[in-house]
Structures are given as C-alpha cells and as structure tokens.
C-alpha cells in the first residue's frame, strides 16, 4: 500500500501499510551378539528418536482455505492512482510456509513501507501491521466480505491527535488486476473520506 505520506499528497485530506525443524536420527542396528537387555535398550532409544523426529516435522497448519483468502494479492504489481499517475510498485510474497504475506512497497517518490498480513485462526480474523519510513504504524483487522473483498479496519491518530478509523479494501477485479480503496472516518464510521484508490496491475518479476 502507499505510505500515509504519499496518501496525504494524493488526497485533499491531510492524514497519513518458523518452524524449528527437529531432526532425529535412528541409532545403528545392534550387533547380533548383544544381550537381550542391550537390544531392547537400543530399540527403545531408536523409537524415541523416531518419535521426536515425527513430532518435530513441520505440520501444514496453514493449508486450509481460510489462510489463503488473501492470495489474490500475491505477486509483483505496478500501482497507479485514480488519474493514471504512477503511485509506485508493490511486491507481495507468501512466507513462513504459507502462513503469512509480506508486502514491500516502493513509492514513486521517497516513500517506502512494509507490512505483514496473517489469518489469526484463534479469532477467525485477518490482521495486518504496516510500517513505513515516515515512522507510521497502522494495524488493521477484518476479513472477506460478501462481495469477495478483503476489508480491514483499524484506528490511528490523525495529525492533530484525533482518533481516526481507517478502512482498506482490496478487490480482486481480475487475475492480473486488484483495486485498493483506502478511506478514513473521523466520526466512528458514520461518514467517510477517500484517501486513496489504487489500481494494481500485475507485472513480471
């Protein structure tokens, strides 16, 4: 996403984006002339090592559909504003075995930012934390709506210290086209002002 500093220039509103793998190795086969007790001990140790290895194998905990609802955003993108001006380039990658998305934004100007998005299965919500080189932090949460958009909301203080509610929606227009709509409310969501509408067009890596 564009940084809050970039959004402020594009909008009239002056407001502001693992597993430790355990490896077990089986013990060597006991010699033929070992005593029965020694053989049992060796077999017990071998079984314990195998169990430890199995327990340490990374489970596909993020293989279910809910963890991949935001996969339409993955890829390399050229982002343009509503009037066709280049806003910047964005790259979204699936990381940590498909458990999270990493965003790396490079604005057409000096703005830079990164975010991490993850489906929190314990609460059934998507979470994103965005930071940028302007020192901003935006934390937003939500999920897919009935129209298939990923809609996330979160609060952040405005330039005068006032509480503002931010909402960002990503719409999969086509396999190579995503629309991002960022808006803000100063009255708890009763009224909204558009901050940024970005058209993402897929480019080759």
Residues 92 and 53 in one domain: no
Quick: pLDDT tens for 145-182: 999 999 999 999 988 889 999 999 999 999 999 999 99
Q: How many domains does the chain have?
A: 2
Residues 155 and 78 in one domain: yes
pTM metric for this prediction: 0.73
Residues 9 and 25 in one domain: no
Residue 198, domain extent:
4-17+62-202
Residues 92 and 171 in one domain: yes
Cα–Cα distance between 197 and 80 in angstroms, integer? 8
Q: CB–CB of 125/102 below 8 Å?
A: no
Quick: pLDDT tens for 12-67: 333 333 333 333 433 334 443 444 454 545 455 555 444 444 444 455 889 999 99
Residue 190, SS3 per DSSP: coil
Cα–Cα distance between 194 and 9 in angstroms, integer? 13
Residues 136 and 167 in one domain: yes
């Amino acid at each position: 996403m564009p940084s809050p500093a970039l959004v402020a220039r594009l909008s009239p509103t002056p407001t502001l984006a693992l597993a430790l793998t355990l490896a077990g190795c089986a013990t060597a086969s006991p010699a033929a002339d070992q005593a029965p007790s020694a053989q049992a001990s060796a077999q017990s140790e071998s079984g314990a090592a195998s169990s430890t290895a199995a327990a340490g194998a990374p489970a596909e905990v993020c293989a279910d559909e809910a963890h991949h609802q935001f996969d339409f955003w993955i890829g390399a993108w050229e982002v343009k504003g509503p009037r066709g001006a280049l806003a910047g380039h964005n790259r979204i990658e699936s990381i940590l075995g498909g458990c999270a998305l990493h965003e790396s934004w490079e604005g057409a100007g000096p703005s830079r930012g990164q975010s991490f998005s993850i489906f929190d299965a314990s609460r059934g919500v998507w979470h994103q934390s965005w930071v940028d080189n302007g020192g901003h932090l935006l934390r937003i949460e939500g999920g897919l709506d009935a129209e298939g958009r990923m809609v996330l909301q979160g609060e952040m203080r405005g330039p005068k210290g006032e509480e503002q509610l931010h909402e960002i929606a990503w719409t999969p227009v086509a396999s190579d086209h995503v629309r991002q709509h960022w808006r803000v409310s100063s009255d708890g969501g009763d009224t909204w002002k558009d901050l940024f509408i970005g058209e993402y067009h897929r480019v080759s890596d």
